[in-house]
Every structure is written in structure tokens, then in C-alpha cells.
Amino acid sequence: MVKFYDFIIRLIEIRRARKEYCRSCETLRLELQRTNVEKQRLLDQFVFTHRAGPSEDNKPLVPNMIPWKVKREMLEQEDRAKAATMRRIEEDKKMAELEKELGVGE
């Protein structure tokens, strides 16, 4: 029975010794805690910005490689829009000159 009692006492001492932390263990624990807090803050910031939705400054992402057929159609559409705008400007100028000559629209 004495041997069992000594065994239990020794076991309790070993467990108590394991619960004590050395200075380097405490330093490591603080570093781990600091890193976890920083990681959580970054994750929260990342999730918050994506939940807020895209900002007005961000343009939709376009793939780097656009097939020539699609690119040509985009360029043609832009050219048609520019040409229509230029035609409207010219018509407005001609209309203003004609009104000025006729003395209408004063």
C-alpha cells in the first residue's frame, strides 16, 4: 500500500510540474495568441469588404485572353457609338448655324 501511495504522490507531482510553464512557453503562447488575433482581424476585414459588394471604382474583371471575334465586335460597337456621337454633334452645329442664319431660336 505504501508503494501505491508513493506512486500516486509522484504522479501528482509530475502532473503539477507539467502544468507549470517556463518563460519561453509563455512567450510562445503570447506570440500564438497575437498571431491568431491578427489572422482573425484580417479574415474579418476580408469578409467585410466582400460583403459590402464591389465598389464603384472597380470595373468588372475581363479575362486576359479575349477571342479575336469578340474583341472585333467590341471595337466595332465602340466605333459605331463614337460615329453616332460625332454625327449628332455635327448635326447640332449645322442646326445652330442654320437657326442663326434664319434668326430662329433666339
Give the tens place of pLDDT for each residue, 33-58: 999 999 999 888 888 766 656 566 66
Residue 27 banded pLDDT, cuts 50, 70, 90:
confident
Evaluate whether 99 touches 105 at the Cβ level (below 8 Å): yes
DSSP 44-73: HHHHHHHHS---SSPPPP--S---HHHHHH
Residue 21 contacts by C-beta under 8 Å, 6 or more apart in sequence?
29
For the chain, domain boundaries:
1-54, 62-106
Q: How far apart, in whole angstroms, are the C-alpha atoms of residue 58 and residue 52? A: 13
Report if pTM > 0.85: no
Pick the more confident residue, 58 or 86.
86
Q: How far apart, in whole angstroms, are the C-alpha atoms of residue 50 and residue 12? A: 52
Residue 83 banded pLDDT, cuts 50, 70, 90:
very high
